[in-house]
């Protein structure tokens, strides 16, 4: 059973899931998040700036991510660019959502919905 604070956020909204998944292996700035999500989903999910930054604001408010001091030395970054990092709580929520999705896939297999 998940901690009540985690459980209240499950199931995650798709945008939340994709942003947290993107940050799970390293800090990124908003444009990099948008590009990775679009590439990973073959363009099926596009996080336009208003949606992306509104979602980031909500994720920050709920303690799932924070601004980071990281800046990629190999990128010619604009110093005003904000990088984001997933928090420990954000990782817990992401893990709970992955577990929920795995359970759904197992159920689909059991029911014969997946061949």
Residue 115 within any structural domain of the chain? no
pLDDT value of position 70: 81
Give the total number of structural domains in the chain: 1
Domain that holds residue 100: 4-110
Q: What pTM, to 2 d.p., does this model score?
A: 0.90
What kind and span of H or E run contains 66?
A: strand 65-68
Phi/psi at 111 (5° precision): -80, -5
Residue 10 within any structural domain of the chain? yes
Please check the confidence at residue 29 and state whether its pLDDT lies above 50. yes
8 A C-beta contact, residue 21 and residue 115: no
Please check the confidence at residue 96 and state whether its pLDDT lies above 50. yes
Please state, as a whole number, how many other Cβ atoms lie within 10 Å of the Cβ of residue 53. 14
- Averaged confidence pLDDT in the chain: 92
Please check the confidence at residue 65 and state whether its pLDDT lies above 90. yes
């Amino acid at each position: 059973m998940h901690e009540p604070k985690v459980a209240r956020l499950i199931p995650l909204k798709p945008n939340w899931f994709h942003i947290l998944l993107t940050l799970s292996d390293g800090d990124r700035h908003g444009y990099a998040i948008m590009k990775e999500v679009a590439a990973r989903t073959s363009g099926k999910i596009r996080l336009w700036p208003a949606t992306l930054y509104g979602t980031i604001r909500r994720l920050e408010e709920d303690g799932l991510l924070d601004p980071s001091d990281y800046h990629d030395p190999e990128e010619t970054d604009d110093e005003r660019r904000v990088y984001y990092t997933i928090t420990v709580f954000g990782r817990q929520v992401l893990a709970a959502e992955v577990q929920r999705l795995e359970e759904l896939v197992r159920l689909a297999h059991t029911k014969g919905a997946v061949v």
